[in-house]
Amino acid sequence: MDMEHELHALRIQLAEKSKYSLQLQKELALSRKGDKSTPHLFEIDGTEALGSYLRIYPCSDSAPDLSICTIQWYRSTPEGGKKELISGATKYVYAPEPFDVGRILQADISTEEQTITVSTSTPIDPAAGLGNYVEALVRRHDTEFTVVVIQMNGVDQPSQSIHVLHIGKMRIKLRKGKTTMAKEYYSNTMQLCGIRGGGNAAAQAVYWQANIGLSFILAFESERERNAAIMLARRFAFDCNIMLAGPDDRSAIGA
């Protein structure tokens, strides 16, 4: 009987220790998020894949107004590696681009009192069939995409006229009719990435810096065309020993 009592007491002690251990693990997980006191003020809404856009929204009446918050988006590896700042992604909306595939996206929402971090629940998925589509385009010498110029050198363009973006093996060219707006070989000064901010159309738009002093925001006919154009240009640029990315992305490409 004494042995049975001792075993029973030992089981109780082990159960209490296990319960305490679980509680510590939960507290540790909350503290790692940096959001222990207010873990559910904001969430990220949207399909976590190419071709969509993600939106931060408040999910509590006590959440601060987003209009008074400072927002910064980051990308990181699923294993929890170092966060890589996405330069210019400072809006409550962000449209994933091909470089984000396989990464976790996070956003820091800061006020004077606190910083709240939200993240996607899974890594960003590639768009179905996009890879095969791009491989088919790679076999061409030059691919044309129909675009509209939204901005040039940061200035809104009132005209909604159609332009053609040529992505070739050695260079990118933008023309309107027979007039060439820009024609540049791939170089270390060229930048190309998904637009980092804006509304629902962000998933169809890109930022292209043809060279220092000449930049455009271009809107494509669809999300698929936008992402295919980015992937195709990066593929051709890589063949020219150029890492084509967005502002401040070059150090992250090698990660």
pTM: 0.80
pLDDT of residue 255: 41
Q: Report how far Cα 97 is from the mean position of its chain's Cα atoms.
A: 6
pLDDT of residue 40: 81
CA-based nearest residue to 224, from 121, 133, 149, 148: 133
Provide the CATH topology of domain 130-253: PH-domain like (2.30.29)
pLDDT of residue 212: 95
CA-based nearest residue to 228, from 139, 141, 135: 135
CA-based nearest residue to 221, from 141, 171, 175, 165: 165
Q: What is the pLDDT along the chain (255 residues), one digit of tens a residue?
A: 455 555 455 555 554 544 444 444 434 444 444 444 445 899 999 999 999 989 999 998 889 999 999 999 999 998 877 889 999 999 999 999 999 999 999 999 999 889 999 999 999 999 999 999 999 999 998 999 999 999 999 999 887 789 999 999 999 999 999 999 999 999 999 999 999 976 668 999 999 999 999 999 999 999 999 999 999 999 999 999 999 999 988 544 444
Which residues, in sequence order, are CB contacts of 129 under 8 Å at separation 6+?
A: none
Report residue 221 as tokens. 């006919």
Q: What is the CATH number of domain 42-119?
A: 2.60.40.2700
pLDDT of residue 248: 87
Q: Report how far Cα 170 is from the mean position of its chain's Cα atoms.
A: 27
